């Protein structure tokens, strides 16, 4: 009598039924596991452990498809020896079409291999490395909405020579659930990563603000210093400070560090600390910038600082200032607006150099207005940029206005319209005679 | 931004097209550092088709320059468009980088 004609006894039926119930129970258990965690590592390990147990297999694995390298990498590999998994994770990756898993990934089709050794596609290196002998296996693609996520494999059924068609169906059902869960977990991971980055940037912005003066206006004798920063979409590296370096003197410092984000915020914090340390006790702005330049010379990744440091005599209005690669500034007098582009050094942190000092005399009512390049780096919705001359023309037209700095900020903000400003905008003012 | 590496009269020339900003400068940085690893005596960057550069782009060149200075290499810029040249001049970056009107000028110096 042939195998197919073997009589099915009630005991066989009962055993078959029990197995189906067990299989169904496994799918329910897996469902519960899947809805209980969004941790991808925990999830794949729990599910595969369950599959290995219920399908009575010696080993199982999940290989994830790395879209950057185009290769499959072991994520989970469970056998009798835990060390095998580590060996596979560390030493084995498969290209598309390479080995049975690579074939499944390339063709996006499941496969049941009854005798691995007789299959041309079989990749024996994994067995060679671990000492495991693959006999029969099922490999199923894990497919998400965005395409291939990876391949799941189950190897060597216990007490049988090979897996059956029913095992394939069961493993496929399981893998469909795993794929959905993996995709959810990946989306969740992305969302968490985005949230973490957002929090980091918020922290950077907070650090940055904490280094700015705690009041927007400071009066030293006849000198009134004011300033503000309009933050941009990305955390930038604008800074300003009001200091009294020596009795009778009033200093205003404005700067912009290169780059954006956390690194710019941290660099800005370093600059502020170094500046306060160097500014104390000297009325020579060129010396302060030279020392600052030396301290910033080891800055990584070519980061640099553009800055102006102006020190005024609180009574006479005589100003000494030095510039490190910072854009020109405006001198507003009753006669009009002058653009001051003094002899200057390059940005600080690049090369060993001097910063020449320029002297100016302020008459009562005179103002100096200095800006960071966020003012003339602003883009409107159509991508057009505001240039320095536009701001100068605006300042000339409105030179008599008392709140010129606010007007300039409004002008820039109106220009950008709905478009987010890519860079911070900082404007400071030194006014003589209050 | 597009980066093309070519040769002009026996000198390595990096020709850039588009905007050099915080999004594109990491790619430029990677390319530039690979080129500088071979310690070229002279590296010319052609800005003819660059429409914009921000401070992160400039920092990338500062980093390249610092590397090249360790072995007395020269980083030269050529054909910088007028509005970008204005930024360089504002920022006194003309004291930092060698700037030439044409590729030939850069090669001949």
Write the pLDDT tens digit of every residue in B56-106. 899 999 999 999 999 999 999 999 999 899 888 888 999 999 999 999 999
Q: What is the pLDDT of residue A360?
A: 96
- Closest residue in A to B62 (Cα–Cα): A302
For the complex shown, is ipTM > 0.90? yes
User: pLDDT > 90: what percent of chain B?
Assistant: 81
pLDDT beyond 90 at A373: no
Least confident range from A39-48, A308-317, A373-382, B53-62: namely: A373-382
Q: Are residues A278 and A383 in the same domain?
A: yes
CA atoms in the 13 A half-sphere facing the CB of A310: 33
- N-to-C CA span, chain B: 28
Residue A325: which of B52, B63, B93 has the nearest Cβ? B93
Q: How many domains does chain A have?
A: 2
Q: How confident is the model at residue A35 (pLDDT cuts 50, 70, 90)?
A: low
Q: Are residues A134 and A176 in the same domain?
A: yes
Measure the CA–CA gap between A5 and A74, rounded to whole angstroms. Answer: 43
Measure the CA–CA gap between B106 and B101, rounded to whole angstroms. Answer: 8
Q: How confident is the model at residue A233 (pLDDT cuts 50, 70, 90)?
A: low
Query: B50 contacts in A (CB within 8 Å)?
Result: none
- Of the candidates A189, A217, A236, which is a domain's last residue? A189
Is the Cβ of B57 closer than 8 Å to some Cβ of chain A? no
pLDDT beyond 90 at A249: yes
Q: How confident is the model at residue A126 (pLDDT cuts 50, 70, 90)?
A: confident
With H, G, I as helix, E, B as strand and everything else as coil, classify residue A146.
coil
Minimal CA–CA distance to A263: which of A209, A207, A346? A207
Structure tokens at B54: 């921000």
pLDDT tens across A284-296, in order?
A: 999 999 999 999 9
Q: How confident is the model at residue A37 (pLDDT cuts 50, 70, 90)?
A: low
Q: Are residues A176 and A221 in the same domain?
A: no
**Domain range holding A397?**
201-432
Q: What is the pLDDT of residue A410?
A: 86
- Closest residue in A to B29 (Cα–Cα): A301
- Which residues neighbour A393 within 8 Å (Cβ) at sequence distance 6 or greater? none
Flag whether A1 is in a domain.
no
Q: What is the pLDDT of residue A147?
A: 87
CA distance B91 to chain A (A): 4
Mutate to test the interface with B, among A350, A391, A421 (most CBs of B within 10 A): A350
User: pLDDT > 90: what percent of chain A?
Assistant: 42
- Of the candidates A131, A166, A189, which is a domain's last residue? A189
Mutate to test the interface with A, among B32, B64, B83, B92 (most CBs of A within 10 A): B92
Q: Are residues A149 and A254 in the same domain?
A: no
For chains A and B, CB pairs below 8 A equal 74
Is the Cβ of B86 closer than 8 Å to some Cβ of chain A? yes
Determine which helix (DSSP H) or strand (DSSP E) holds A427, and give its type and residue range.
strand A425-432
For A22-42, what is the mean pLDDT? 70
Q: Are residues A222 and A332 in the same domain?
A: yes
Sheet holding A93-95, edge to edge: A93-95, A71-78, A57-66, A147-157, A137-144, A111-113
- In order of A328, A369, A385, A421, B100, the CA distances from B86 in angstroms are 11, 20, 14, 21, 14
Q: How confident is the model at residue A3 (pLDDT cuts 50, 70, 90)?
A: very low
- Of the candidates A189, A209, A226, which is a domain's last residue? A189
Instruction: Tell me which architecture the domain covering B2-108 has in CATH.
Output: 2-Layer Sandwich (3.30)
pLDDT tens across A146-169, in order?
A: 889 999 999 999 988 889 888 898
Q: Do A302 and B92 touch (CB under 8 A)?
A: no
Alpha helices, DSSP H, located in A238-380: 261-279, 285-295
Measure the CA–CA gap between A388 and A113, rounded to whole angstroms. Answer: 71
Q: What is the pLDDT of residue A422?
A: 62
Q: Are residues A215 and A182 in the same domain?
A: no
Q: Do A301 and B61 touch (CB under 8 A)?
A: no
- Which residues neighbour B5 within 8 Å (Cβ) at sequence distance 6 or greater? B12, B13, B14, B15, B31, B35
Query: B63 contacts in A (CB within 8 Å)?
Result: 301-302
Determine which helix (DSSP H) or strand (DSSP E) holds A238, and give its type and residue range.
strand A238-243
| pTM of the shown model | 0.68
Domain locations in chain B?
2-108
């Amino acid at each position: 009598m042939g195998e197919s004609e073997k009589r099915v006894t009630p005991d066989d039926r009962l055993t078959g039924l029990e197995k189906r119930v067990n299989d169904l129970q496994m799918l329910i258990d897996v469902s519960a596991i899947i809805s209980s965690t969004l941790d991808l590592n925990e999830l794949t390990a729990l599910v595969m452990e369950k599959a290995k147990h219920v399908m009575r297999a010696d080993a199982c694995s999940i290989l994830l498809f790395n879209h950057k390298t185009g290769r499959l990498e072991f994520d989970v590999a469970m056998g009798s020896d835990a060390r095998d998994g580590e060996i596979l994770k560390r030493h084995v990756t498969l290209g598309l079409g390479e080995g049975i898993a690579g074939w499944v990934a390339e063709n996006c089709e499941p496969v049941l291999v009854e005798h691995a050794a007789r299959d041309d596609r079989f990749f024996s290196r994994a067995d060679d490395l671990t000492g495991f002998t693959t006999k029969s296996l099922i490999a199923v693609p894990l497919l998400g909405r965005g395409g291939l996520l990876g391949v799941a494999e189950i190897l060597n059924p216990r007490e049988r020579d090979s897996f059956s068609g029913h095992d394939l169906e069961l493993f496929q059902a399981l893998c469909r659930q795993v794929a959905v869960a993996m995709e959810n977990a990946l989306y969740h991971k992305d969302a968490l990563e985005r949230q973490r980055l957002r929090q980091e940037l918020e922290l950077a912005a907070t650090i940055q603000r904490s280094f700015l003066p705690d009041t927007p206006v400071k009066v030293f004798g006849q000198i009134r210093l004011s300033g503000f920063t309009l933050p941009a979409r990305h955390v930038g590296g604008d800074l300003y400070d009001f200091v009294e370096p020596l009795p009778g003197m009033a200093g205003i410092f404005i700067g912009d560090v290169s780059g954006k984000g956390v690194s710019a915020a941290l660099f800005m914090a370093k600059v502020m600390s170094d500046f306060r340390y160097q500014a104390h006790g000297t009325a020579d702005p060129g010396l302060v910038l030279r020392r600052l330049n030396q301290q910033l010379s080891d800055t990584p990744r070519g980061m640099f600082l553009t800055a102006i440091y102006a020190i005024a005599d609180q009574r006479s209005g005589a100003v000494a200032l030095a510039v490190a690669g910072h854009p020109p500034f405006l001198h507003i007098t009753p006669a009009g607006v002058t653009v001051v582009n003094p002899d200057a050094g390059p940005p600080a942190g690049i090369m060993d150099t001097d910063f020449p000092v320029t002297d100016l005399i302020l008459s009562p009512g005179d103002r100096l207005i200095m800006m960071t390049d966020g003012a003339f780096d602003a883009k409107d919705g159509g991508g057009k940029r505001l240039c320095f001359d536009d701001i100068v023309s605006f300042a000339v037209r409105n030179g008599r206005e008392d709140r010129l700095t606010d007007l300039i900020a409004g002008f820039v903000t109106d220009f950008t319209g709905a478009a987010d400003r890519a860079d911070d905008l900082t404007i400071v003012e030194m006014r003589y005679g209050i | 931004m597009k980066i093309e590496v070519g040769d002009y009269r026996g000198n390595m020339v990096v020709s850039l097209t588009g905007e050099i900003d915080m999004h594109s400068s990491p790619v430029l940085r990677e390319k530039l550092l690979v080129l500088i690893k071979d310690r070229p005596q002279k590296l010319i960057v052609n800005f003819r088709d660059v429409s914009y550069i921000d401070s992160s782009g400039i920092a990338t060149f500062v980093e390249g320059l610092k590397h090249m200075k360790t072995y007395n290499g020269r980083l030269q810029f050529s054909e910088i468009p007028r509005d970008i040249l204005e930024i360089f001049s504002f920022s006194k970056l003309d004291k930092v980088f060698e700037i030439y009107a044409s590729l030939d000028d850069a090669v001949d110096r």
